[in-house]
Structure 1
């Protein structure tokens, strides 16, 4: 599945037409799939496009009284921040000359009225899909440029390995672990943290994002498994003086092959949110976001042996609960939730 946008919201589609009936038809066609914004003139369309919240795509009529669609498109293309917004002409002008002019101006498609709703929906969905993938490719390319060799990056984005790139969007719970110095690690500490995160993530059923500087990042389908790993990591890597954040959200996951190995990484803003949650944690503790706490609070309060639970973030939108593992006893059963100890 291709994510809708890299910031995990519905694509925002602007429909521009001076006929109320056409606006009503398009709104009914798209409202369950996209965020639909309407404009009944070229001037109003430009105000929406040039706003702080521009659309991800524009469906643009040509024949309008104040400013025709061709002029609207020229102005959008002349403004650098909006120049790459995909535009589809949706118009009663059906001649080859008009279509050629629209495409030459940079429209990605040209649809004529009267419209076939099913065909319009199919074409728009195809372009949304292609645009979303292109944005994800751009974000992945920018991230991996800092981590892959130039040759490996070129093979992945310009060579045969490009066919291996895929994206999916799903709810994940992220673990973000950083040192008290906010990512200042020597080589030994960095290798130790990476090895411990890799081992524990595999043991607890998660995946590791190896492409993040100065921190350990893992992500899980099961939020409780992520918290169990966080508790065990705090205990086993106590000499690194870690702050750990756990956060749940809808994540964009990129998978690809590089150097004959299948790899994955997170793109988008959820990793940054997990890092902000980690920054609220005390050294040796785990800060849990409200989103994650809502999913695991029953397990925490039912099976909290071996950890200190403090609801100390009542005034924060980032974190709600702090968990601190107690020293491991020399023997005896450990909490099945806290996971303090290797089985």
Structure 2
């Protein structure tokens, strides 16, 4: 059962960080919730499966405290699944376990855990590490958001090369063979001179959005927007080789002309009567590419004669047409159908320029391996997981789930019925919250009429009290919970052994070890650990039975000492 615990006081101005506690031991969950609830929203799950469900729900936590040894799905498997899922991969996870070997700690960290805390748990250490990792996670998210915002001012390839370290932000250029693309909207400035600025902005941005998407599909480097013009090039920072770069560029140009026809229909339906058309010029050759500018402000771009020629070809192209130079033609012939046109006299060039017009044939879709495409009435989908960041994949998955929910109302109905028993969970949460509030209130009042003895045989009270944050009322509550819930552990271990379930017996021993150590017991944790190790090593049954008897004696002595030191409560005295 998942337990949600919230503060009883009035609303706070901002939502507190949500902590998910995943532990199969009720005493540990009780302790951790009490420890954390003053500063955080705390939710507790009693199994790995429940913990995963909460992490993937709309109650997504900011940090997870995860027990390692649990029946069913253990903490290691939970960590593997959290790390594999992009929706939860960035959640910090702190392992809580009585396993204290260096190998166990390294294994947990290698799986992707953020930290590793051994039981018995030191409250100051746990609180400090939770606070530290929440701050680090929040800072990482802020940096990620900022980097994603900054990435919109750079071509995706440039942004990626800067963040993966393959390119440095320094004044540096190189000469490379590129294919350069120029386009503009014919007579756009004159046609929109009387328009309101908002109308021009809307039309331009919708046009740029569509063209940018196509450029990204074909792997282009989008250099800049100049008014209504677009400058694009292929060949840096990534290249498929001069020939394939040129082919991709021309195919991209054809796809843009086709998309422009769709945009014209869309704009017409919105009441924009002007039938705008674009002109495109493409040239291939050696250019200077890199960072130009100063150490205070630089721009990743291209310069050179071949860039100027692409611009001149765009100006010479017919509306709706694509002109390519001889150099580009030499690279794409055999893949692109063209028609030779009259040479172009271009400003800044002493000789006429041989040009070719690209025939208007459908552009082959730019579909890479793993890309999913679907285009039919009522459904248009293109999904390329390889181009998405982990955060974008998580967003895409959420969008697809919402789409599936809208297509399958039966599933929604099923989900609604499955979620019906919320009042019971809420009642349980309320009971847990009330119990914790009562404990803290009792502690504030000096633990009511109950006092903590000076000593209890088998317990180091100084250690135990420190692990209860020096709250006497809370510590007495922990001792009583131990008395109420642990007396039958030897019987349950024998039942597991009789059923041949050594793992269940090991988990019971492990749980008793952790909880008894948390309250400051001295001998019992050692005896429980010895039995746990024997069960893990599949020792001979005679040895296991001997260790079980020894642990049972230690537990019995501790229980007797607790009953003598802590008189029954009023509820226990009443018939």
TM-score, with length taken from structure 2: 0.26
TM-score, with length taken from structure 1: 0.42
**Larger relative contact order, structure 1 or 2 (CA cutoff 8 Å, min sep 6):** 1
More helix as a share of residues:
2
Say which one has the larger Rg.
Answer: 2
